Structure 1
Amino acid sequence: MAAVAAVGGVVSARAARRTKRQENRDDFLAITTQQGRAIQRLEARVQRQETEAEKQRERISDQDEAIGWLLHRVRTLVSHIKKAGLEPPTAEPMSDRAARYVRGIDV
């Protein structure tokens, strides 16, 4: 009787044991699930960066338009002052950073 019970225990233990193939499959599923989450996080980060870049492009475009309008306005005022026979006041020195964007303009 004890021998039958021992054999039954061995058979039960063997049936409950996972095969190497099952363990590999579960490892693969765990890794692919983890990679899927990592890819989703990266996609969300890229989307946020693209949204922020679009906002910055729009802001720069608006600033470019504002600078263009200001330059036109200054030219008009200088022209009006010169037509009146006066000389506009001398401009204050411009920083190098500003000069990169306003070079070639006689203001």
Structure 2
Amino acid sequence: MDTWIQAGMAIVATAGGVVSARAARRTKRQEKRDDFLAVTTQQGKAIERLEARVQRQETEAEKQRERISDQDEAIGWLLHRVRTLVAHMKKTGVEPPPAEPMSERARLYIHHIDV
């Protein structure tokens, strides 16, 4: 009889465990909603990171455009100054020294110079 009681108690305990596990289990709808919220939150964070990265890149690109514009103006001023000096030297009868060879990279930008 003692064995029957123990077996009965084991069955009751198992049934209680199953019932409590079933009650604690989440519904498919709850799981889908929580999954959607988790994915949405994760996507929101990823979008914020991308927006911050794009903003940094736009700021850096603007700085580079300004720097290039300033460099272009400086090079233009230097070219004008060199032409003026060479013209002055030729006018006074002095020939300027021959120019050093130009690199191919520099030639791409100042190939039109007659100095």
TM-score (normalizing by structure 1): 0.85
Determine whether 1:105 maps to 2:78: no
Corresponding position of 2:37: 29
Query: Larger Cα Rg: Structure 1 or Structure 2?
Result: 2
Count of aligned residue pairs for this structure pair = 102
Amino acid at match of 1:81: M
> After the TM superposition, which segments of 4 or more aligned residues of structure 1 sit over 6 Å from their partners?
none
The percent identity for this pair of structures is: 82
Superposed CA deviations along residues 56-106 of structure 1, whole A, max 9, x for unmatched, are 111111111000000000000000001101111111111111111111111
Determine whether 1:60 maps to 2:64: no
Provide the rounded CA distance (Å) in 1 between the counterparts of 2:107 and 2:78: 15
TM-score (normalizing by structure 2): 0.79
Corresponding position of 2:4: none
Match of 2:49 among 41, 55, 60: 41
Determine whether 1:83 maps to 2:91: yes
Amino acid at match of 2:38: A
Unmatched runs of 5 consecutive residues or more in structure 2: 1-11
Match of 1:94 among 85, 95, 102: 102
